[in-house]
Structures are given as C-alpha cells and as structure tokens.
C-alpha cells in the first residue's frame, strides 16, 4: 500500500532531493547577487559564496575564536537535511571574513539565522562590516523566498544590544521556555 505524498521509489526520492537542492542553490545565487549589489552601493566590497571546502579549511585556521562552531561537521548535516538553508561564506581579497548558516521556517513567514562567526583576526578586511554584510545577504534570501521576517536565534547576550540598535533594527523576543531571539520585519 502506498502512503500519500511519499515517494514509492527510492530513486525518485533522491531525484526529488537533488532537484530541490539545485533549485535552492540557484535561489541562494540570486540572493548573493542582490546582496552584493546592495553592499557595493553601500561601499562594502565583498564576495558572497556558498560554504565550500576552501571556506571550511580557512575557518579551521582562525585563532582566538569567540564561539568556535564546528563548521566542518555542521555543513554536511545541514546540506543533507535542509535544502532551503541559508549559507554564506563572505570573502574579501582572498580572506575568509565570515561564515553564516540558517534556514527558513517551514510554514511561518520568517528566515532564521542560527550560526554566524566572523574571522577574529584584527586584520579581517571586513572588520566592523561583517554583521551588516551577513544581514544584507540574509534579507536578500528572505525576499527571494517570500519571507517577511528575519530572526537571529539564540544570540550571544553581549551582542543583543548591537542587534537591537537603530543600525540593525531588531527587537528582542523572549518566549517562555525557549531561547531568546532577535526579530525584524523586512
């Protein structure tokens, strides 16, 4: 007996999964182009790319990291489970400046950022501009997906005032029995 909405052929499921992955990779590419244009207009030169082996290798070399996310473990897991994911490696002049990872809500109208880490090197060519560059890219992807809100999930407490400042326009939400997040309409 067939189950409704379930592929009966494993080959069909693989094909469907690879088709979804290709579709959302293309949508992320559109968002990267839109965000790059926005950033250039604001005077910020950055190269936005998917998180690839070069980015993972560069991040492994970062020293003095504030959080030290295990990107090399997270990326394969997220790629396997979330074809609609938001992912970006931000480069400038051959230097990896930041990595970010998030995903859209399945039914709700928001796109959430779960992980953001900047290169802690004081010589980071986008030092002081990383958050803005990531948020511009997150916003561009949210627009492409038709989402109306951005969320920064479980932010570091020390960064909440910055995210909730006039510069970024988020507000803090503290749901009962859940981690806090910062939200902003787009």
Average of per-residue pLDDT across 10-15: 57
87-103 per-position pLDDT tens digit: 999 999 999 999 999 99
pTM for this predicted structure = 0.89
State the pairing for strand pair 149-153/86-92.
unpaired
How far separated are the first and last CA of the chain, in Å rounded? 45
- The dihedrals phi and psi of 32, each to the nearest 5 degrees, come to -60, -40
The CA distance from 116 to 101, in Å, is 7
Q: How would CATH label the architecture of 10-156?
A: 3-Layer(aba) Sandwich (3.40)
Angle, helices 53-60 vs 71-81, to 10°: value is 150
pLDDT at 13: 57
78 pLDDT band (50/70/90 cuts)? Answer: very high
Length of the chain as a residue count: 186
Higher pLDDT, 4 or 165: 165
pLDDT at 1: 41
Closest CA to 78 of 107, 55, 116, 51: 51
Q: In the chain, pLDDT over 90 holds for what percent of residues?
A: 88
The CA distance from 153 to 159, in Å, is 12
140, two tokens? 């561009």
Inter-CA distances, 118 with 63, 67, 88, Å: 11, 10, 12
State the pairing for strand pair 47-49/86-92.
antiparallel
């Amino acid at each position: 007996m067939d189950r409704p909405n379930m592929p009966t052929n494993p080959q069909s499921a693989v094909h469907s999964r690879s088709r979804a992955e290709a579709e959302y990779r293309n949508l992320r590419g559109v968002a990267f182009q839109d965000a790059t244009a926005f950033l250039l207009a604001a005077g910020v030169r950055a190269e936005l790319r998917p998180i690839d082996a070069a980015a993972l290798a560069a991040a492994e070399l970062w020293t003095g990291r504030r959080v030290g996310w295990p990107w090399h473990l997270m990326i394969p897991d997220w790629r396997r489970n979330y074809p609609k994911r938001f992912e970006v490696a931000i480069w400038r002049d051959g230097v990896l400046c930041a990595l970010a990872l998030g995903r859209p809500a399945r039914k709700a109208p928001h796109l959430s950022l779960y992980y953001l880490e900047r290169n802690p090197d004081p010589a980071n060519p986008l030092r002081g501009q990383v958050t803005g560059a990531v948020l511009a890219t997150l916003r561009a992807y949210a627009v492409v997906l038709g989402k109306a809100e951005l969320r920064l999930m479980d932010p570091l407490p020390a960064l909440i005032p910055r995210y909730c400042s006039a510069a970024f326009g988020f507000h803090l939400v503290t749901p009962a029995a859940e981690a806090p997040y910062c939200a902003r309409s787009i």
